[in-house]
Amino acid sequence: MALTDVAIRTAKPREKPYKLADGGGLYLHVMTTGARYWRMDYRFHEKRLTLAFGVYPEVTLADARERRGRARKLLDDGVDPGAQQKRDKLVARVSAANTFKDIGEEWLSKQRKEGRAEATLNKTRWMLEKFAYPHIGARPIADIEPPEMLAVLQRVEQRSLFETATRLRSLSSRLFLYAISTGRAKHDPSGALRGALTTPQVTHRAAILTPRGVGALMRAIDGYEGQVETKLALQLLALTFVRPGELRAAEWDEFDLNASVWRIPAEKMKMRQPHIVPLASQAVKILQALHRQTGHGRYLFPSTVSAKRTMSENTINHALRRLGYSKEEMTGHGFRRTASTLLNELGFNRDWIERQLAHGDADEIRAIYNVAEYLPDRQRMMQVWADYLDKLAAQGRPERVVGAA
């Protein structure tokens, strides 16, 4: 006979535990203490097994019957409901431990171990704590869908922080991709939001764009009286026009000075594609001089605090301020705009310039196979660029007087 709620409520404890059967293997196990537990006996592969469904009254009779029905369906499908129950509990436990915040903190820790600048990590943490964690930080990352992610980003846009919203979408995408690579998510909901946000107004990084101004800048750098490593960093940035972060994170094992080439791995590039930087003879000489200073360690430009970390992201811009250039006149990132502008004026093929700037390729597959695209042409271009910088710098220097003391 099937159980009733009345029979369950009025069941009294006895000297020994006893069972009240409901059918289909389901029963209520009444203990001597008065506690009542839902159980289900079943057979799987000729073994007698028992499932635990919880405690009455937290689990009602209707709840217990529903769980019995699900277990019977699994048995009909040839699945052990006890084993499935254990898997479900494990998944729930793992999901609870892998929230968006858990992944964010783990990713930040990984970035710190890889030598990312503390200032950059602090900005990233601020963005997450200010705009993401309060809304989705406690959510299992695998459960977050595009509409939920969009709502987070739209809250930022409502404050007219359009650039921040764009950056948060990009940062969130990196966290989702990291979760996917570590088996804790299956898709990137932020990736589906490209085009859903307000496009921020583009503001160009301050840069010197005239030959005369560039010549003056190169002379100023040549006379820099601060740390020699900072001076060499400024010179290399002008010669290679990589992103400042790529230069700061450069490692000695990425360079082949005999072949005059620097190979930057994909994980260090903004577009997550490997990049080749041909080195002009002037750049090789600078690197040889730098090697005598820092070649014993991992990084070209280690932090003054710890050789395990890279130069601060503020060092380059601070050096430019020390040379008398305001943030409205020149920035570390501005060397890229300077090179792009003048190389185009010199008549170089725009495709060579864009490839050397490592600007994104709309076709990601094409980009993967074109790491070395136009490499011989770019090698010639980079040497001409270095010679041109030398020429501009020399034009403003006083001529040497023969026979002068």
Which contiguous run of DSSP H or E holds residue 261? Answer: strand 261-264
Separation of alpha carbons 74 and 67, rounded Å? 11
**Which contacts qualify for 71-76: CB closer than 8 Å, 24 or more apart?**
71/40, 71/42, 72/24, 75/42, 75/44
Report the C-alpha gap between 345 and 337 in whole angstroms: 12
**What amino acid occupies position 260?**
S
Report d(CA 73, CA 96) in Å as an integer: 27
The catalytic residues are: 243, 270, 333, 336, 359, 369
* Token pair in block for residue 262: 């620097």
| In contact, 183 and 94? CB cutoff 8 Å | no
Neighbours of 14 (CB within 10 A): 10
Secondary structure (3-state) at 30: strand
| Nearest-5° Cα angle at 200, 244 to 336 | 25
Length of the chain: 405
- C-alpha span between 177 and 156 (Å, rounded): 22
Nearest alpha-carbon partner for 50 in 20, 71, 79: 71
* Ordered DSSP codes for 75-120: HHTT--HHHHHHHHHHHHHHHHHSBHHHHHHHHHHHHHHTT--HHH
